[in-house]
Structure 1
């Protein structure tokens, strides 16, 4: 009898424990959903432009080296149907190596676009959306890409302002103002979303687009360093909600939460970066009066292969 009473008490105890665990899980999902919807509502109230949630065909697949590649496209289309991609990046997460890599492709790279002949790589997006750009990258650089995300620049501004109320710390090397709608003074400072966007878009100096790409990669790394680890994870659902009205992607919310949570929970958030074309594998060229980057496809392809295998 005593044994049976003890057994019944033990069962009740485990039921209570399971109930508490279930309560935490349900509460966590409810909190995440509430934060996500709050982020969406907040953005819609402030939005001047949002991204058309057009469903693109995208035949991407997982990276053969075991990583997950996301084609990140920065856009300032303002509703234009055939806009070119202003920024082209490939973000790569490898779950086994716990590594994060970033490849920036110069938009003036002169490449073969399947079915359209040779042209600047950013025209692939205008002619055939993210799928044609994916095919172009695969044909020229042999990179498999599973997901795409087209982010409007207004979404970038709101995301930065939500994630970093004090701004992102950046050491600005020179005064910048031409064609970026803001004035940025040189020196170490905290930039809000609008000024940080101007900083990563500025390209009117001697190094042009090369300097712009370098600043973009530096800002991505700075954002990674300035995120506060486990303290930022509760903010993640709201951050995804904030950017949702400004993003068109084939990733579902679960995919974004998984990759984002894994990144934020790491102590070491080093992001290795590569610019394409790499040094010594391109030269300036003039094609029908347009300045382009004539690239050595094989040299760049080999540099990418080595970069992804590390």
Structure 2
């Protein structure tokens, strides 16, 4: 009798374990089905939003898959990216309107941006002395990379050429409610509009006009300061939770206006670090630094900034390190 009860209890226990195992398998199957469903929905959403952003672009920026650029592939934890702002008018290379270096350092978790004044009078390998932005016109991003290395002793790993034509759409996608700035005085010359002085919220074309205006006493210096200000504010907006859902659409808007050799996996790693980390405010530097240059006029070239290279090299190394 006792033996019979023991066997019956063993059968019940075995049946109970089998039921539990079946329930676990069902739960696991449901989990994977849900995961696959979410991945499919996410992929469809990403594809839809990307193409939606792409459809809002006004034509394609002439990308050149054969651009020479010999910057060394960077350690994923630390790199320098050459950012070039241009107006595309059908020419292969025109003089670069904006020259910046974006510095990424995972260890110190501090985004940095260096603006190089385009009128800096420097040595361009194989072309003698000229304005810094002439290097891009003479030989594209590779010659500009060599010029920056020779004059400022900094290695640039990748490039990103940005067509200003797409800036208004990119800005409005990141910050649909606009970017608040303080316009110091009336701005109109050279930007195709009039911006009145005072604190105000700017969108699209007006924001582009604000960062490109240079016809006042501060000339390019004021323009560089405003560019750094707006990039910092757009970066803050881009990292907001409400903006993250628009990331696929944003990339669709940006893609037609950017030509870059940054590997896709590098974008993913950097993006992940920015999203999960507590990113401090963007730090910025302008070269030449204050007191390290003089205004000169060179025959056949025009107005230039004659700079103290040694002082600026030291300032740059101190800023980055």
Q: 5 Å matches for 1:261-300?
A: 262-263=273-274, 266-288=277-299, 290-300=302-312
TM-score, normalised to structure 2, is: 0.88
Change (3 A) 1:197 1:73: same
Contact 1:35 1:237 in 2 (8 A): yes
Contact 2:292 2:312 in 1 (8 A): yes
Deviations 1:73-130 (A, max 9, x none): 1111321233110000111222232221000000001111122221111011111111
2:34 counterpart residue number: 20
Q: 5 Å matches for 1:72-91?
A: 72-91=83-102
2:51 counterpart residue number: 37
Deviations 1:31-73 (A, max 9, x none): 2222112111121xxx2x6321112111122567942222111
1:137 counterpart residue number: 148
Q: Which runs of 5+ in 2 are unaligned?
A: 1-13
2:232 paired with 1:221: yes
Contact 1:62 1:145 in 2 (8 A): no
Q: 5 Å matches for 1:1-310?
A: 1=14, 2-43=16-57, 47=58, 50-55=60-65, 56-62=67-73, 66-227=77-238, 229-260=240-271, 262-263=273-274, 266-288=277-299, 290-309=302-321
Change (3 A) 1:36 1:269: farther
Equivalent position SS for 2:56: helix
With 100-109 and 138-147 compared, the bigger mean Cα shift is at: 138-147
Structure index of larger Rg: 2
Deviations 1:121-161 (A, max 9, x none): 10111111111111111121122222211111111111112
State the distance in 1 between where 2:158 and 2:186 align.
36
TM-score, normalised to structure 1, is: 0.91
Structure 1 runs (4+) deviating above 3 angstroms are 62-66, 225-228, 252-269
Contact 1:230 1:265 in 2 (8 A): no
* Count of matched residue positions in the alignment of Structure 1 and Structure 2: 305
State the distance in 1 between where 2:213 and 2:278 align.
31
Contact 1:62 1:144 in 2 (8 A): no
2:3 counterpart residue number: none
Deviations 1:151-178 (A, max 9, x none): 1111111111222223211111111000
Contact 1:75 1:87 in 2 (8 A): yes
Q: Which runs of 5+ in 1 are unaligned?
A: none
State the distance in 2 between where 1:265 and 1:85 align.
34
